[in-house]
Structure 1
Amino acid sequence: MSILFLTAAGAAPEAAAQFGLIPALKEGGPISIAIFSVMVIMSVFSFYIMFTKLFEQHKVLNQYKQLRAQFWRAASLEEGAAKLDKNSAYRQVVDDGISAQKQHGLLTDPGEAHDWIHNALERSKDAINSKLSTGLPFLATVGATAPFVGLLGTVIGIYSALIKIGIAGQADIGKIAGPVGEALIMTAIGLFVAVPAVLAYNWLQARNKTIASSLAVFSNELIGFMSSDGRLKPAPTAAAAGKPAPAAVKK
């Protein structure tokens, strides 16, 4: 937050010490300190979610690269699944597809195999997408509410300044500089918390859409492979994550 007070610090160190963040919080009293604490907590959790989600997404995107390069070289789904990491999102889709294929054969009144497997894979994809989206609503909430939390501090600061003007009977700049400064600082902190949260939310959402697209492509390939008894098999490739898979080739 030192950027907010860079000008004051450069012009007059004494003024910066008098009208810096700590004096401003003292000027606002317990309410300003509580509002500042809330915004600090919001900011810390926002950055925590952002970095953990980036790590999670990076892992899944790398798993897709591994999938495109190795999975379709296998002779069977079981063999292909064994080549993927146990915690891979795509390994979960394959395992759920294999399980659905086995369950279909046990039904007393089985429906179409394609629909049964398709529904199982849809549930698997939804579970993965839901896990990747965990925490993003918090970022959206912070982005939407942090400016208003800062505005609350601003209103309190302005109100304090007006009270001092009323008591003094005149607008003495020396008496109202503290409350007004505290008010402006709270507005700036609210924006400082909100802007990164909004940017992170939009960025992470876009990356989640890329992952959801790759899951949909792989799910369709898996259904094609199962429905054709392995005759419809995509060619292995080292394509980058998120890019459309090549056209399937018949074996």
Structure 2
Amino acid sequence: MLIDILAAAAGEAAPQNKFGFVEALEQGGIIAWTIFGVLVIMSVGSFYILITKLLEQNKIFKQYRAIRGGFWRAPTLREGVSKLDKNSAWRQLVDDGLAAEEQHMKMTDSLEAHDWMHGSLARSEAAINSKLAGGLSFLATVGATAPFVGLLGTVIGIYRALINIGLAGSASIDKVAGPVGEALIMTAIGLLVAVPAVLAYNWLQSRNKKIAELLSGFSTDVLANITSKGAVKPAVTTAPVKTAAPAAAKPAAATKA
């Protein structure tokens, strides 16, 4: 009984300090909450850009596979482009190439058609690549600044810990644990925000480079087709025809036997 009474008295006399994420932010006050809010906005924006850009890139890759399968089988570019999606980047290239051809016919100077159409397609490629790169600068900014934003919270937390030590006259754990815990939490959050942003930026950039290569090759094929009046097309259109001849030759050999 005596032991229980002493334990209860000690429990009542001991200060009830709560240490946790919310408690650390509350001790930090409006500055800690502001820094935490900025980091949350950075994280949400990073994941939003990652998802939207990934869907946009997947759409372009899917459209490219459809183009390789059927676009160049059309007799003319105008018939082929009518089968493409209206908001397709590939259709934009073809439309700009055909528009450049019509514009060159109206010119009275000696500018070569190849140079004019090549420049028009290059501008079209640049516009598409610029649209694909939209938002990536935000990811780069988050990846570069989020650790420093978290570090700001760390510095403020340590500063508050030093103030508590100075006011109390001793470095007791109940005076230091809260501010130092807040400081460590802010550092961790800053890194958790920055690392996914950097990874997303590098991944999306590599996929954009692949799309840029495909756009460059496709615009070259479009330019060759226009300047040759439809005579030059990628070899993909002749692939299905080669499989029919061997099947028809076997019955003929059997008949002779």
Shift of 1:76: 0.5
1:20 matched to 2:31? The reply is no
Asked if structure 2 preserves the Cα contact closer than 8 Å seen for 1:114 and 1:227, the reply is yes
Q: Which residue number in structure 1 is paired with residue 100 of structure 2?
A: 100
| Partner Cα distance (1:31, 1:127) in 2 | 42
Q: Tell me how many residue pairs correspond in the alignment.
A: 221
| Partner Cα distance (1:133, 1:126) in 2 | 10
| Partner Cα distance (2:76, 2:235) in 1 | 14
Q: Which residue number in structure 1 is paired with residue 171 of structure 2?
A: 171
Q: Secondary structure at the match of 1:117?
A: helix
Asked if structure 2 preserves the Cα contact closer than 8 Å seen for 1:49 and 1:135, the reply is yes
Looking at secondary structure, tell me which structure has more helix per residue.
Answer: 2
Shift of 1:89: 0.4
Q: Which residue number in structure 1 is paired with residue 217 of structure 2?
A: 217
Asked if structure 2 preserves the Cα contact closer than 8 Å seen for 1:129 and 1:212, the reply is yes
Shift of 1:173: 1.4
Q: Secondary structure at the match of 1:180?
A: helix
Question: Which residue identity lines up with residue 147 of structure 1 in the other structure?
Answer: P
Shift of 1:227: 1.7
Instruction: Provide TM-score, normalisation by structure 1.
Output: 0.86
Q: Secondary structure at the match of 1:19?
A: coil
- The runs of at least 4 aligned residues of structure 1 exceeding 3 Å deviation read none
Q: Deviations over 1:180-232 (max 9, x none)?
A: 00000000000011011000000000110010000000011111111222221
Superposed CA RMSD in Å reads 1.1
| Partner Cα distance (2:112, 2:182) in 1 | 67
Q: Which residue number in structure 2 is paired with residue 194 of structure 1?
A: 194
Shift of 1:235: 2.3
| Partner Cα distance (1:114, 1:190) in 2 | 52
Q: Which residue number in structure 1 is paired with residue 90 of structure 2?
A: 90
| Partner Cα distance (2:20, 2:173) in 1 | 17
Q: Secondary structure at the match of 2:236?
A: coil
| Partner Cα distance (1:215, 1:134) in 2 | 17
For structure 1, which runs of at least 5 residues remain unmatched after alignment?
A: 1-16, 238-251
Question: Which residue identity lines up with residue 217 of structure 1 in the other structure?
Answer: G
Max Rg structure: 2
Identity %: 65
Shift of 1:236: 2.7
Q: Which residue number in structure 1 is paired with residue 235 of structure 2?
A: 235
